[in-house]
Amino acid sequence: MIAIIDYGAGNLNSIQKALEFVGEETVILEEGEQEDIDKYSGLVLPGVGAFPGAMKRLQEDNFIEFIEKFVAAGKPFLGVCLGMQLLFEWGFEDQKTAGLGLLKGNITKMETEYKIPHMGWNQLQIIKNDPLFKGLPENPHFYFVHSYQLTEVTDQVLATVGYGSTVPAVVRQDNVIGFQFHPEKSGDNGIKLLENFRELL
C-alpha cells in the first residue's frame, strides 16, 4: 500500500487515482505522528502550493520524523512537483526556507526568457539510465507546472528538460525519487512511470 501525504496543498485526488489505476492500494495521511512505517510499501509527497507553507504544514502535522524514518528504512519515497522540491536542502520561494534535506541542492526561481510559470508539455532528456524509464519512449513528454527549480544538474539528476535553460526534471538517490512534472497529468507516459515506481516497492 502507498501512503499519500496530505499537507493541505497537494493535488491528492489525481495522484491517488493514477496510483490506483496502476493497481496499487492507497491511503491518504493527514497526520504523521502515530503512523507506523511498516504498514506502507511506498510514500508519495504530492505538490501544489508554495515551499514555505508546505514545510510549515509538514512540521505542524508531524510528518518530518515520519518521512525521515521511512527513508532510513529504505522504502521508496516519491516527491512530485513541489514535493520534489521539498526533498532538497533549501528553498528560496518568498523567503529562505529549510527543506527536508534528503538530497543536496537548492530550489530557486527559474531563470529563463520564456514565460513563467513553466506550464505545459515538455520533452525529457534522459541523461542516466534507470529502471524508472523502462518501457518509455526515447524522449518522453510530460506535463509541467512550476516556477521554481533545482538550481544545478547534480549527480542525482536522471533527466532534464530545456526551457530556456536546463531544468532538472527527474532526480533519484537510492530510494528517494523526485519528478518535477506531474505524472498523474501526463497520459500514458505518466502511467508507465508510475507503474515503474510501483515495481520498486
pLDDT per position as a tens digit, 80-93: 999 999 999 999 99
Q: Is the distance from CB of 148 to CB of 187 less than 8 angstroms?
A: no
81 flagged as catalytic: yes
Catalytic residue (choose from 24, 35, 93, 184): 184
Catalytic residue (choose from 35, 146, 182, 195): 182
Q: Low-confidence residues of the chain, pLDDT below 70?
A: 9-11
118 flagged as catalytic: no
Q: Is the distance from CB of 68 to CB of 51 less than 8 angstroms?
A: no
Place of cell 491517488: 16
Q: Is the distance from CB of 69 to CB of 75 less than 8 angstroms?
A: no
To the question of pTM greater than 0.85 for the whole model, the response is yes
141 flagged as catalytic: no
Q: What is the pLDDT of residue 49?
A: 85
Please state the domain extents for the chain. Answer: 2-198
Q: What is the pLDDT of residue 8?
A: 81
Q: What is the pLDDT of residue 101?
A: 98
Catalytic residue (choose from 81, 93, 118, 195): 81
Q: What is the pLDDT of residue 113?
A: 94
**CATH 1.10.1240.10 given to domain 2-198:** no
Q: What is the pLDDT of residue 59?
A: 95
Give the cell for residue 79: 516527491
Cis peptide before 117 (omega within 30 of 0): yes
Q: What is the pLDDT of residue 51?
A: 95
Q: Is the distance from CB of 201 to CB of 41 less than 8 angstroms?
A: yes
Return the half-sphere exposure (C-beta side, CA atoms, 13 A cut-off) of residue 97. 22
